Amino acid sequence: MRIRVLLAIDGSSYSIMGARMLKTLQPSAEADVRLLTVVPEHTFLGGFTLQSVRGIRVGKEKSREAEERHAHGLLQEPAEVLRAAGFTVESRVARGNPAAKILEQAREMQADLVVIGAKGTATSPRFPLGSTAQKVMKYSSTNVLLVREGPTTIRRVLVATDGSAYSDEVTRFLLDLPLPGRTEVQVVAALHSFVRPNGSGLMPGPRVDERTLSQLRAAEERAALALVEKWRNTIRDRGLDVSCMVLRGEPAEEILMAADTFCPELIALGAKGLSASDSFLLGSVAQRVARFSQFSVLLGRLRRAA
């Protein structure tokens, strides 16, 4: 499978980790990788930009040249890492709003995957996810890999599935990369019943008797077991070690707790779930997992029609 990857670089340790993570995943010898760094051009009140102020003091052209040299310098190390791994790499420098430029470049090259550090150089330690990463994961029309600091050798992957088209796509995409041969995959399905234990409905309607409640739970369990078993067989056929779990509770919390126990290098889940409205760009479960996970997260979106 030929794959087009956009890797966003800002000089932070997270973006360097992104290059190393991509090297580990080894999507394909035919992968097209574009490295992108963006020189921010923030417009302040009154229409001033940092570049215009610098231009007054040191000369506009000289200031731009220095910024360009610095930006190209940021791309050198990740480009060397990826070329050494056999990737064909091109580098680009853009100017403007970082999130907007990343999304623009992803659309232009029809990227299959956008790789971005979960935090940038200016992100406060108090925030688990940087503002640029948040915007990219929300508005991207393709798969997004949010990279966090940690090991870049893929040994364990947690796949969260709910039977939606988005979770099916991210699992297929993950398996097409392909993963290293000794990778252990854990597939989890989190059941968030719409019925409280006392029998009262979460949605307007009549009370549910215990017999009906029991039937609903049993049906949920059967569906979840069938779902994880389907993926168990598919993943096992790829020669990977796989285990499965059915969880019950608030899905994002259950996925995060399962990840804390399993300690994967990567969590994969769909950008939307079964209950997500078409008007929402990103489902609530995906948002919470991406924001609070201590591990790298792959958010899957539906693949473009050929």
pLDDT class of 303 with cuts at 50, 70, 90: confident
What's the CA gap between 98 and 281, in Å, rounded?
19
pLDDT class of 166 with cuts at 50, 70, 90: very high
What's the CA gap between 288 and 137, in Å, rounded?
12
pLDDT for residue 95 is more than 50: yes
pLDDT class of 213 with cuts at 50, 70, 90: confident
Mean pLDDT for the chain overall: 82
Q: What is the DSSP string of 190-255?
A: EE--SB-TTS-BSSSS----HHHHHHHHHHHHHHHHHHHHHHHHHHHHTT-EEEEEEEES-HHHHH
What's the CA gap between 55 and 58, in Å, rounded?
5
Sequence-ordered list of residues with C-beta below 8 angstroms from that of 82, at least 6 positions apart, any chain: 7, 19, 22, 23, 33, 35, 89
What's the CA gap between 64 and 55, in Å, rounded?
8
Per-residue pLDDT tens for 199-208? 444 444 456 6
Task: Collapse the DSSP code of 21 into the 3-class scheme (helix H, G, I; strand E, B; otherwise coil) and give the result.
Answer: helix
Closest CA to 21 of 218, 256, 223, 296: 296
| pTM (2 d.p.) | 0.84
- Give the model's pLDDT for residue 84: 86
What's the CA gap between 227 and 18, in Å, rounded?
31
- For the four alpha carbons of 277, 109, 18 and 16, in that order, the dihedral sign comes to negative
What's the CA gap between 88 and 66, in Å, rounded?
27
Beta bridge partners of 191: 248
Per-residue pLDDT tens for 244-262? 999 988 999 999 999 999 9
- Give the model's pLDDT for residue 21: 87
What's the CA gap between 302 and 170, in Å, rounded?
8
Sequence-ordered list of residues with C-beta below 8 angstroms from that of 223, at least 6 positions apart, any chain: 163
176, exposed or middle or buried, with CB in 10 Å at 0-12, 13-18, 19+?
Answer: middle
Look at 180 and 185; give whichever has higher pLDDT.
185
Look at 131 and 61; give whichever has higher pLDDT.
131
Closest CA to 158 of 8, 294, 304: 294
20 Rama sector, left if φ>0, alpha if ψ -120 to 50, beta otherwise:
alpha
Query: For residue 180, which phi and psi values (nearest 5 degrees)?
Result: -55, 145
* Structural domains for the chain: 1-149 (3.40.50.620), 153-306 (3.40.50.620)
Tell me, what amino acid is at 163?
G
CA distances to 29, 91, 108, 176, 244 from 1, in Å: 9, 22, 20, 7, 27
183, exposed or middle or buried, with CB in 10 Å at 0-12, 13-18, 19+?
Answer: buried
